[in-house]
Amino acid sequence: MPGALYRGHMGSKWPGPLAGPAASDALLSRVAMVAASLETATDRSDIEHIHRLRTSLRRIRAVMRAYSPVFPREPWSALREETAELFRSTSALRDIDVQTARLTAQRTEAPRIAGDGIRSFILEYRAGEKAALSGVEDALDTFLRHDCLRAIGEWAIWARGGPVPLDFRLVDTRPEGEGRKLPAESLARRKLRRAARGTIRAMESVAVGDAKAEALTEFEGPDLHALRLGVKKLRYTCEVFSALPGRGALRKRARVLGGIQADLGDVHDADICEAHLLEAIDGLRAGDPLAPGLTYLLGDTRARRTAALDRLCRAWTPTTLRAWLEQVPARAASGK
């Protein structure tokens, strides 16, 4: 375990669950995940390679965000931004992969008359694949040249009481290290409370006429996307702090949030596809042979969006979801 490997830097064990050792263990395990995913990131023989990279980056970013008070602000912010930049570079390629995989599957279900339209839409997505891949390669090259993973690993060792990373020793100011001694559980409550409030604010900003929305079906696409981002952030914050002693119940909270995130993600994917379809349909001439396929896709996309929202609304209303979200920090404090 990483904790056992680097305890020697302290000279003695920490007197309780402090944020420094917790951050160290969480970061080192995720550094290994990112390192493994980087090896196949640009291998296009399997579209899951880019998905694994995104997942590993998302998880290490969650740890870096959750334990940010442990580390000196300036170097840590720079590392977080470099990691975020690599993650953002993968978004376009992953969108292309998701949409083309779905469209390819639909070709087998669609009526024959729709085939040409579906095929043309797949080719339109794939036309952007080369540029999207190039963006990932450029960001990956920068990430590797700056040796970001090595730097994150060295700061993780410092968080447990190890030496100051070499790059930082070359400047005049040395980090104080007081953040390492923060109580891990109080940091968890603070971060969970902030993430939960952010998600609640995303819901409270939605109004229909003069009244608040009573059902998630009343939310507009951008509002649902903001809610999805809030849910995603809270989910990964729960996962990070579930490793603390007595906080394993946060994993159950994270699983529930993962289901909400998945349904909201399906809605978001449908919204993106519908926007592209409407643009393509607007450019067609009367009698265009592609029209049946694009029209079929539009109907299917809207049906998928409705189904995803129905799944959400069978389990949640804005009121019940808000009440559940408000419980997350309290449950973290009680361990339930």
pLDDT of residue 90: 96
User: Confidence class of residue 28 from pLDDT cuts 50, 70 and 90?
Assistant: very high
* CA-to-CA dists, residue 290 to 121, 214, 277, 284, 302, angstroms: 9, 40, 11, 8, 19
Question: Regarding predicted confidence, which is higher, 170 or 257?
Answer: 257
Instruction: Read off the pLDDT of residues 164-216 as tens digits, 9 standing for 90 and up.
Output: 887 776 665 667 778 898 899 889 989 999 999 999 988 887 665 556 777 88
Average pLDDT, the chain: 87
pLDDT band at residue 50, thresholds of 50, 70 and 90?
A: very high
SS3 163: coil
pLDDT at 8 over 60: no
Least confident range from 173-187, 226-240, 269-283, 304-318: namely 173-187
**What integer pLDDT is reported at residue 333 of this predicted model?**
54
Long-range Cβ pairs for the range 52-58 (8 Å, 24+): 53/90, 54/87, 54/90, 54/94, 56/30, 57/83, 57/86, 57/87, 57/90, 58/87, 58/236
Closest CA to 54 of 100, 25, 97, 23: 97
3-state helix, strand, coil in the chain (%, to 5): 75, 0, 20
Q: Residues 139, 89: contact at Cβ < 8 Å? A: yes
**Structure confidence at residue 248 (pLDDT):** 78
183/248: higher pLDDT? 183
Reported pTM: 0.85
Mean pLDDT of 88-103: 92
d(CA 113, CA 130): 30
The pLDDT > 70 percentage for the chain reads: 90
The label of the residue with tokens 């969006």 reads 305
